[in-house]
Every structure is written in C-alpha cells, then in structure tokens.
Chain A
Amino acid sequence: MTRVLGWLAALALLAGLGMAFAVAPREATQGTVQRIMYVHVPSVWVAYCAFVVVFVASIAYLATRAEAADRLAHASAEVGVLFTGLTIATGSIWGKPTWGTWWTWDARLTSVAVLFVMYVGYLLLRGMIDEGERAARYAAVLGVVAALNIPLVHFSVLWWRTLHQPPSLMKPGPSSMPPVIVRALLVNFAAFALLYLYFVAKRVRLLRLEGEAGA
C-alpha cells in the first residue's frame, strides 16, 4: 500500500516536472528561474495542509487518547516542517535573482518562517519528553495552539508589511493566472500531496514500530 503510494508520488512528480519545464511557458521578465514556483507554491500548500492534519489529529488524540492519532500528528508535523523548510529554501533561491537578495521580510515568506520555528518548537518539545504518553499529550496541546495561531500570524504579518489594512482579506486567487500555469501548479500540488502522504505513511509506520519495540 505504502509502496504503491511511493510509486504514484514518483510518477506524479515526474509529470509535475514535465508540466513545469515543458508545458508551462517561460516567464517573460524573470526567465526560467520563475519555474521554481512549481516547487515553491505546492510545497507551501502542502505544508499548510500538514499543519491542519496536526491540528485535527491532536484534537482526536485528546478526545480519544488513540496512539494512532498521536503518531499521525507527529509524522504530519515532521513532514510539514520539511515542506516549510523547502518553501523557505526555494523562496530564497527564487529571491536571489529576482529581488537580488536571499532573504526579504516579505509578508508571505515571514509568515512561513514563523510557522517553521513554531513547528520546530513542537518537534523539540516532543524530543525533550521521554515518557511517550506525556509527550503525546503535551504535543497535542501545542499542536492545537499552534494551528489556531496560524491565521493570527498570517494577518499580523500581512498588516505589518503592508502598513495599512488591506481592502480585502482575500488575495487575488490563481484564477488571474493563465489556465496552463494553473494546471501545472495543480499537477505539482497533487504530486507533492502524494509525496506528503507517502512520507507520513512511512513515518507513522516507523513510529508504530518504534513504539512496539519500546513497549
């Protein structure tokens, strides 16, 4: 099952690469560098989804005390941190030729960086508690707080950078982009989502085996 997921993810990633390099048009001003968007944007979407999974799994753990829910939260947080890291790295690589700097305190980049440190803290907390049950409980509480904090971080950072309250909370969606770019983005998003599922499935299994070996 996991293996199938792995192959599916690999195939989808290949398809995504094809879409990004062969099908999607070369951007006029930025050139080929702009194609990094097909990694950057899907990874941040997947990261947000991963943290939502942490949130839901944490609540499920607190309600049911099912270890499976805790393992899901743990795995999803790890993979989420991975994808946030990927977002920041690709953002930097994209930023260097475009803005002429590796890092800028752009609203979205800053938001993602805050998420990154928040969930690295989550993993640190887990690592510091030896007793499995307590680690699960505390991490679940943190998983809930961190997720509820995401919208607050988003708006505060946005307002902080734009100096004024934006006229609308909704930013222009992907619909303003040409359909071919949207398609390429969606294919890559699907590929990254499959990759996320594959990683989480692997990690959950490993955590279960670790737990069994320990108990």
Chain B
Amino acid sequence: MIFARRAWSVVWKDLLVERRSKETLNALAFFSLLLLFVFQFALGPDRERLAAALPGLLWLGFVLAGLLGLGRTFVLERENDCWEGLILAPGDKSAIYVGKLAANVTLMLVVEGLILLLFAVFFNVDLAPALTGLALVMILGTVGLAAVGTLFAAMTAQVRARELLFPVLLLPVQVPVLLGTVKATEAVLLGEPLGAVGHWLGLLAAADVIYIVTGLLTFDFLLES
C-alpha cells in the first residue's frame, strides 16, 4: 500500500512537471513531425513502398522518440540535486522505478499516438480497422522499451557522454522488442487476426515481465551514492 502511494507520488510529480514545462512533450511532438519529412524524403511518393515499410517506419519513429524521451528520465532530478533527495527518501527505491516507468509509458504512448495520427494523415493510410490490435502491440512494446529505458537512463544519468551511451546500451537490448513489435504490427496492418502473431505477443509479454522484474530487483543498486 505504502509502495503504491510512493510510486504514485513519483508519477504525479513527473507528469505534473511535464505538464507545466512541456519540455519533453513539445520537443518530441516537433521531432515526430520532422521524422515524417525524413521518411517521406527517403521513400519517395511511391505508395506501395510506403505501405510495405510502414510497420518498420512506425516503430523506428517510436524508438527514436523513445531514445530521446526516455534518456531524459532523470534530467529533471539533477535540478537542485533532487537526485540526492530520491536516494535519501526512506523506503524501497523500486517504488521510484515503478513511478518513473509509469510516467514514461504514459508520455511515450501520448507521443506514439501522435506519430500514429501524423502517419495516418500525411501518408493517407487508414489505420482505423487495425486500431485495437495496434494498441495492444504498442502497449506491449512500449512497456518493454520503457522498462529497460528507465533502468538504463538511471544508469547513464551520472555518466560521461550520457547522450551517446544511452542509445548504445538500449538499442541492442531492445532487438527482441523491435523484431516482435514490427512483425506483430505488420500482421495487424494486413488485417490478420492477433492469433496469427500469438507467439510474438507472447514474446513481447515475456520480455515485459522479465525487464520489469529485473528493473525492480536491480534499481536499488543504481540509486546509491
């Protein structure tokens, strides 16, 4: 009970600060728009090529936005040495991990929703029929991405060349999530039933569980000194 209240206090604080400053959200929204330009320039106007590449592009966008957004998870805590305050707050540090993770997932899903909308509008693809399946894949994938991302953000927050190291560490670890989400998205967009990609969804769910449990168990060690 106390654990949940402490975790919630972190979610509340992070989202409130984000709502006030809009630092991450504004930048990521603009970044998403830029991505669209880049994708369009890279692929040209050919609709078929676009359709074939769509699942990959979509997740490329999500992951790039995630790398930027998740990497900033602990930037806020450097303000006035709040980082020290987090360490000194009595109680299990994993509550902070859960709070940060939940705030990150929320933020990421908002940005991903925006990217999805931009894709639908600018590339003129009808995503409506696939929306439920897509939402499921997005949630499973985003939780996995954020679970490791939050952990690694804490790891790199105090390290030299943090902006470089964070993606270098996160991307290889995210290979299973990337492959799973792209494959599942492909199937969903083709209108296949979710059962056809059941093994991928299972793998994503397993990855989520493994990552979150590892994060819970190891976060304490990152938030020391």
Direct contact of A and B (CB under 8 A): yes
Chain B CB within 8 A of A202 CB: no
User: Are A144 and B214 interface neighbours, CB within 8 A?
Assistant: yes
CB contacts under 8 Å to A, within B179-225, are: 179-180, 183, 199-200, 203, 206-207, 210-211, 214, 218, 221-222, 224-225
Given known pairs A128-B159, A145-B148, A145-B151, the reply for A140 and B165 (CB within 8 Å) is: no
Given known pairs A129-B159, A152-B210, the reply for A140 and B221 (CB within 8 Å) is: yes
Chain B CB within 8 A of A104 CB: no
Inter-chain contacts of A129 with B (CB < 8 A): 159-160
Q: Mark B60-103, 1 if CB is under 8 A from A, else 0.
A: 00000000000000000000000000000000000000000000
A138 to B220, CA, bound (A): 11
CB distance from A209 to the nearest CB of B (A): 25
Given known pairs A134-B225, A141-B222, the reply for A125 and B165 (CB within 8 Å) is: yes
Given known pairs A125-B155, A165-B199, the reply for A156 and B179 (CB within 8 Å) is: yes
Chain B CB within 8 A of A149 CB: yes
CB distance from A195 to the nearest CB of B (A): 26
Given known pairs A121-B168, A144-B214, the reply for A155 and B155 (CB within 8 Å) is: no
CB distance from A65 to the nearest CB of B (A): 10
A149 to B165, CA, bound (A): 19
A117 to B156, CA, bound (A): 17
Extra A-B contacts (7), CB below 8 Å, given A128-B165, A157-B176: A121-B165, A124-B165, A138-B159, A141-B151, A155-B203, A157-B175, A159-B183
Inter-chain contacts of A124 with B (CB < 8 A): 165, 168-169
Q: Mark B124-158, 1 if CB is under 8 A from A, else 0.
A: 00000000000000000000000010011001101
A128 to B165, CA, bound (A): 9
Given known pairs A138-B155, A157-B179, the reply for A152 and B206 (CB within 8 Å) is: yes
A121 to B72, CA, bound (A): 19
A156 to B225, CA, bound (A): 37
Inter-chain contacts of A183 with B (CB < 8 A): none
Given known pairs A128-B161, A159-B200, the reply for A149 and B218 (CB within 8 Å) is: no
Chain B CB within 8 A of A148 CB: yes
Chain A CB within 8 A of B43 CB: no
User: Are A121 and B172 interface neighbours, CB within 8 A?
Assistant: yes
Q: How many B residues, CB 8 Å from partner?
A: 33
Chain B CB within 8 A of A118 CB: yes
Inter-chain contacts of A146 with B (CB < 8 A): 173
User: Are B173 and A155 interface neighbours, CB within 8 A?
Assistant: no
Given known pairs A156-B203, A159-B199, A160-B183, the reply for A141 and B173 (CB within 8 Å) is: no
Query: B168, B176, B200, B221: which contacts A149 (Cβ < 8 A)?
Result: B176
Which among B171, B173, B180, B200 has the highest number of chain A CB atoms within 10 Å? B173
Given known pairs A125-B159, A128-B159, A160-B183, the reply for A137 and B151 (CB within 8 Å) is: no
Which among B160, B172, B203, B211 has the highest number of chain A CB atoms within 10 Å? B172
User: Are B175 and A153 interface neighbours, CB within 8 A?
Assistant: yes
CB distance from A67 to the nearest CB of B (A): 15
Q: Provide a sorted-by-A list of 16 A–B residue pairs whose CB atoms are within 8 angstroms.
A: A114-B172, A118-B173, A124-B169, A134-B158, A137-B222, A142-B152, A142-B169, A144-B218, A145-B218, A149-B176, A153-B175, A156-B176, A157-B175, A159-B179, A159-B183, A160-B179
